Amino acid sequence: MDIKQTADKHIANTYARYPLALVRGEGCRVWDDEGRSYVDFIAGIAVCNLGHAHPALVETLTAQARKLWHVSNLFYTQPQAELAAWLTEHSFADRVFFANSGAEANEAAIKLARRYFKENGAAERYRMVSMKQSFHGRTMATLSATGQEKVRKGYDPILEGFDFVAFNDIEELACAIGPATCAVMLEPIQGEGGVVVPHRDYLAQVRKLCDESGCLLIYDEVQTGMGRTGKLFAYEHSGIAPDILTLAKALGNGLPIGAMLATERVASAFVPGAHATTFGGTPLVTSVALKVLKLIVEEGILDEVQPKGDYFRSGLEKLKSKYPVIEEVRGKGLLVGARLNIPGAPIVNACMERGYLINCVQDNILRFAPPLIISREEIDGVLDCLDEVFTTI
């Protein structure tokens, strides 16, 4: 079977796919159907933090598959209970709602914020302030909360009740919060928006505005969570906790799982029947997710993320001083961006031809989100590759 031809014929045409059919992965490498290997600096878009086919995860998945895959959330299961306990013990939160994806986790956050105020006699507070260039998902509610026109294009009318302000502009946010505002929703670092890191005091200022106005603070950590930035959660860098936080992507290292975390005060608005999902938090995926978290924290992987990220950005800064085409290097931990003054797609394709998979967002920003187990030698490899590619421009 020709994989690419079969996919193009039968799968909905919603992706502009790269001309690769990947069939196998191990560690930080993947192989295509022609046997060629690539060093993966995308990791499923910040998903495979422990790389591909991690032996301990394969063992955990196999063991759980022999016991119990799925039962309704009408019943208790040990893996789900253990994962919820681990997440709350290692975060600000008291309660967890499990979903299938980041979009579903964000959908739950939006619903919880609105319901919280209705349950507390303030039904007029339903509006949400989100950030321009944000990305929160592709359901109708989450794309309505997403501050990118290209994501919302073709789906008008989007859901009412969402206002947008510039990320990092505290004065604009202060003006946008009003008597009808129930929550401010933002990513601690904008990933799809171009790896945009907030100003030093921004999150503290946002928290202060939320506290003064009585609205909730929601962090979307779908891309930044699970060690990507060098902390288990990106909010830990600032020490400014939210009321609600969402996770997905790396939580399952490739298995579909999302989670919404909240304080007891806010989570109490969710009562039986208020929200639900069939596949959220199955024994299969929660057993693997728990193992993912334990490996990241207990095996010292988390401790190496910031030093590796610093090393990577330092190498990119050297390329920046050599090639004017690179205008800015930014990021935190192993979520790294390089803003170019030219389109990034040709650079992505040239790196692919040389055996490195990287990504481009916002047309001109190279994004790197490799597995957290990436080695310095592999980082040197992609830097050498970029050096070679930029010489041809």
> Which one, of 37, 45, 25, lies nearest residue 249 by Cα?
45
135 is catalytic: yes
67 is catalytic: no
Query: In sequence order, what DSSP letters do the residues of 269-307 get, joined into one string?
Result: T--TTSS--SSTT-HHHHHHHHHHHHHHHHTSHHHHHHH
Query: In sequence order, what DSSP letters do the residues of 140-204 get, joined into one string?
Result: HHHHHT-B-HHHHTT-PSPPS-EEEE-TT-HHHHHHH--TTEEEEEE-SSBTTTTSBPPPTTHHH
Sheet holding 356-357, edge to edge: 22-26, 29-32, 37-40, 356-357
Q: Which two tokens stand for residue 93?
A: 């939160």
DSSP 96: E
**Set 167, 220, 243, 368: catalytic member:** 220
How long a stretch of residues is the chain? 393
Instruction: Please name the residue that has the structure tokens 């961006």.
Output: 337
**Set 98, 167, 249, 368: catalytic member:** 249
**Set 92, 135, 233, 312: catalytic member:** 135
Pairing type for strands 162-165 and 127-131 reads parallel
Partners of 340 in beta bridges: 326
387 is catalytic: no
Q: Which residues are catalytic?
A: 135, 220, 249
